[in-house]
Structure 1
Amino acid sequence: MDTQQLALVFPGQGSQKVGMLAELGESFSIVKNTFAEASDALGYDMWDLVQNGEQAQLNLTETTQPVLLTASVAVWRLWGEQGGLRPSLLAGHSLGEFSALVCAGAIEFADAVRLVRSRGQYMQTAVPVGEGAMAAVLGLDDAQIVQICAEAAAGTGVVEAVNFNSPGQVVIAGQVAAVDKAIELLKAAGAKRAMPLPVSAPFHTSLMRPAGEKLALALADITVRQPSIPVVHNVHGKTESDPGAIKALLVEQIYSAVKWVDCVETMVSAGINTTIECGPGKVLSGLNKRINKSLNGLNIESPASLAAALDFIR
């Protein structure tokens, strides 16, 4: 296939699981070597944690973020080592945007691993545990959800639409009472489902601004280069080549909605007909197909899925 038709995409929080990439790690040394690099950067054995740790520990935001970034970079490196086609675009969902920027050569891997651990800490401490909530909403259009969140927020606190994942699938987040009120109103308005998510903070809301301020300070000490492959950014669904602007987008992303539908539509408009998800799970592959039925969606998390992806692009 033509390189112009391929994009690689990188998952965000929620895709982590104990034992992920186990078969790839046993089959290809580059996978374990990538985890060893990350372990050196953070000072603990990340591969051991991923294979033998507790799911509860993997789900801690400050652990989840470096673990998923490392898994994605390991798969990206393996893809290149095995002769995989160089994509014309990269994109990642929330945390996955950092993975994309590492793979595009914009941020050094060790810097990114440390940065996203800090990002996780900043996000977790921006709102005390128990005060924030998130919920997935199915079956209403985006404008309706935004409007109902505004109604629910009046007098109860912050609740906002934060992930536009696919048509008819939006995630809302905010303070517990406001999210509960929004769920009640959304169900009354005919939502097929409005269900709380098992997360520990209201990610991508305006409540995350303090985390954004801390991330900006951390980014000031990190070198960001122009990406060698364009990365589509969550904040506006466009690419950006200026390193200063990329830093600003990474800060803004922490307290802004993830516009994944826009990201995928940008890729399709650029001629992409195939996306390959690098890392555990198939969440993005499923969303991408719902956004545009013509897209081919593959993922790489095992030797079999790697072989299938390599066969597909040849």
Structure 2
Amino acid sequence: MTNAALAFVFPGQGSQKVGMLSEIAQEASEIQATFAEASEVLGYDLWDLCQNGEQEAINLTQRTQPLLLTSSVALYRLWRARGGALPARMAGHSLGEWSALVCSGVLAFRDAVHLVRERGRLMQEAVPVGTGAMAAVIGLEDGVVEAACASAADGEVVAAVNYNSPGQIVIAGNSAAVARAIEACKAAGAKKAMPLPVSAPFHTELMRPAAEKLAPQIEAAEFNAPDIPVVHNVHAEPESDPAAIKALMIEQIYRPVRWTACTKKIITDGATQLVECGPGKVLAGLTKRIDRSVTCHSIDNPGSFNEALRSTAV
């Protein structure tokens, strides 16, 4: 049954760590079965990489993206196998939007694994390592950060790219421009403005070449209307038309992630309980900054998984 007050959200890059899901996989065959399916597509053992690889290896974008997609889909499959309630709405942060599309029935898991591997590869290739950067800015209003980026650009690219929660924004662009923007944000009174350990300036115009190269593969894939509405990063609204969803997933690569707006949309539409379907608690933390009235659950270990099942049952 559908729980009208329940939303599922899916994390993006940054939530990965070696050994994740190991405890829950010991008691749930669905986890390793999903990883085995992804491994067939990828041509390498994704579960072994996840459990025994080096952190540097799983941080490579073209590996991180299929890894997180697979983790989220595995947990969602387990949720449904254990009788978990259907959510009434979904959203995913950046890469996590692909996880939401798979779990809402828009495209097949195997197709998504292939597409996000290519997405990661093309995004990394779009900007040579060292020439792009990202930084977190804490404690400034959106407009102040946007103005700081505009003043720091000086003919290069730097922009707000992740609107994560009120007072927490990520900026990205050319390395020198990001460095100038960091100083401008500090001068404007930011509590923190610091570089992030990321290898490419995601969700900027610098990613448009990657989007253009991936577009034919997305266009060729079979997309369906979603069984569960997915709120999209680009405009913080759901979309039911498969062709429009394809266009949004292409545009998403070089447009900002409007996560605060996505979360507010989910809540406005009736969500009072939120399950973070993937490793970690990043999105739960952001949700608390956006609206403290929402109850957040994580499901990446047996204890929290079973508690979420009980709390959201209908």
Q: Which residue of 2 aligns with 1:301?
A: 300
**Secondary structure of 1:275's match?**
strand
Percent sequence identity is 60
For 1:192 and 1:135, the matched residues in 2 are separated by 13
Letter in 2 for 1:88: A
Q: Distance in 1 between matches of 2:95 and 2:74?
A: 15
Residues 87-121 of structure 1, C-alpha deviation per residue, up to 9 Å, x if partnerless?
Answer: 00011000000000000110100000010000000
Q: Answer yes or no: is 1:129 the counterpart of 2:106.
A: no
Partner in structure 2 of residue 176 of structure 1? 175
Partner residue, 1:286? 285
Give the gaps of 5 or more residues in structure 2. Answer: none
**2:143 — aligned with what?**
143
Kindly provide the CA deviation profile for residues 234-289 of structure 1, in whole angstroms up to 9, marking residues without a partner as x: 00000000000000000000000000011011101101001100111000000011
SS of the equivalent of 2:24 reads helix
1:183-222 paired onto structure 2 within 5 Å:
183-222=182-221
Which AA in structure 1 matches 2:267?
A: V
Letter paired with 2:205: S
Q: Name the CA distance, whole Å, in 1 between partners of 2:157 and 2:24.
A: 42
Counterpart of 2:60 in structure 1 is 60
How much has 1:293 moved relative to structure 2?
1.1
Distance in 1 (alpha carbons) for counterparts of 2:278 and 2:212: 29
CA contact (8 A) 2:2 2:87 kept: no
2:110 paired with 1:110: yes
Give, in whole Å, the separation in 2 of the partners of 1:2 and 1:68: 25
SS at match of 1:257: coil
Match of 1:23 in 2: 23
CA distance in 2 between partners of 1:67 and 1:2 (Å): 28
Alignment of 1:250-265 (within 5 A): 250-265=249-264
Residues 213-236 of structure 1: CA deviation (Å, up to 9, x unaligned): 012111122100001001000000
Deviation at 1:154, TM superposition (A): 2.2
Stretches of structure 1 that go unaligned for 5 or more consecutive residues are none
Q: What secondary structure does 1:216 align onto?
A: helix
Residue 46 (structure 1) aligns with: 46
Alignment-derived partner of residue 242 in structure 2? 243
Alpha-carbon contact 2:2-2:86 (below 8 Å) kept: no
Equivalent residue number for residue 70 of structure 1: 70
- What is the CA distance between 1:40 and its match in structure 2? 0.7
State the AA in 2 paired with 1:125.
E
Matched residue, 1:8: 8
Letter in 2 for 1:39: S
Task: Work out the CA distance in 1 between the residues paired with 2:41 and 2:130.
Answer: 31
C-alpha distance in 1 between matches for 2:278 and 2:162: 20
Structure 1 residues 172-229: Cα deviation after superposition (integer angstroms, max 9, x where no partner): 0000100000001110110000000000000000110001101211112210000100
The alignment of Structure 1 onto Structure 2 pairs a total of residues equal to 313
In structure 2, C-alpha distance between the alignment counterparts of 1:297 and 1:303, rounded to whole Å:
16
Tell me the residue number matched to 2:37: 37
- Which shifted more, 211-220 or 231-240? 211-220
Q: Is the Cα–Cα contact under 8 Å of residues 91 and 100 in structure 2 kept in the other structure?
A: yes
Residue in structure 2 matched with residue 310 of structure 1 by the alignment = 309
Please name the residue that 2:83 is paired with: 83
Give the counterpart letter for 1:111 in structure 2.
D
> One-letter code of the match for 1:56?
E
Measured in 1, the distance between the counterparts of 2:220 and 2:245 equals: 14
Q: Does the 8 A contact of 2:3 with 2:312 survive in 1?
A: no
Post-superposition offset of 1:2: 7.0
1:220–1:2 distance in 2 versus 1, CA, 3 Å: closer
Aligned Cα RMSD in Å?
0.9
CA offset at residue 4 of structure 1? 1.0
> What TM-score do the two structures reach when normalised by structure 1?
0.98
2:2, 2:88 within 8 Å by CA — same for their partners in 1? no
